[in-house]
Amino acid sequence: MPDIIFTKALRREYASTPAVEGMDLAIGEGSVAALVGPNGAGKTTFLKMIAALLEPTSGFARVAGHDVRESPRGVHAAVGYLPDFFGLYEELTARQCLRYFHLAYRLPEPADRRIEEVLELVNLRDAADKPIESLSRGMRQRLGLARTLLHDPKLLLLDEPASGLDPGARRELQELLRRLASTGKTIVVSSHILTELEDYCSHVVMLDRGRLVFSGTVAEARARAGGGRRLRIRVLGPVEAARAALAGDPAVSEAAPAPDGWAFRFSGDDESAARLLRSLIEKGVKISSFADDSGSISDGYMKMMPREGA
How far apart are the C-alpha atoms of 95 and 139, rounded to whole Å? 13
CB atoms within 10 A of CB 21: 20
Instruction: Measure the CA–CA gap between 136 and 248, rounded to whole angstroms.
Output: 56
Amino acid present at 258:
A
DSSP H or E stretch at residue 151:
none
Q: What is the rounded distance in angstroms from the CA atom of residue 231 to the CA atom of residue 225?
A: 14
The 8-class DSSP code of residue 190 comes to: E
Strands (E), 29-163: 32-36, 58-63, 66-67, 79-82, 155-159
Cα–Cα dist 295/50, whole Å: 30
Percent of the chain at pLDDT exceeding 70: 91
What is the amino acid identity at position 199?
D
Tell me what pLDDT residue 310 has: 41
C-alpha of 291 from chain center: 21
pLDDT for 150:
94
Q: What is the C-alpha separation between 24 and 8, in angstroms, rounded?
A: 4
Tens of pLDDT, residue by residue over 192-231, are 767 667 777 889 999 999 999 999 888 788 777 665 677 8
Mean of per-residue pLDDT scores for the chain = 88
**Is the pLDDT confidence value at 102 over 90?**
yes
Rounded to whole angstroms, how far apart are CA atoms 241 and 281? 10
Tens of pLDDT along 266-285?
888 888 889 999 999 999 99
Rounded to an integer, what distance in angstroms lies between the CA atom of residue 139 and that of residue 202? 26
pLDDT for position 1: 64
Asked whether residue 309 carries a pLDDT value surpassing 50, the answer given is no
* Amino acid 308: pLDDT: 54
Instruction: Supply angle C-alpha 220, 221, 226, rounded to 5.
Output: 95
The reported pLDDT for the residue numbered 92 is 95
pTM of the predicted protein model? 0.77
- CA distances to 100, 108, 151 from 104, rounded to whole Å, are 6, 11, 11
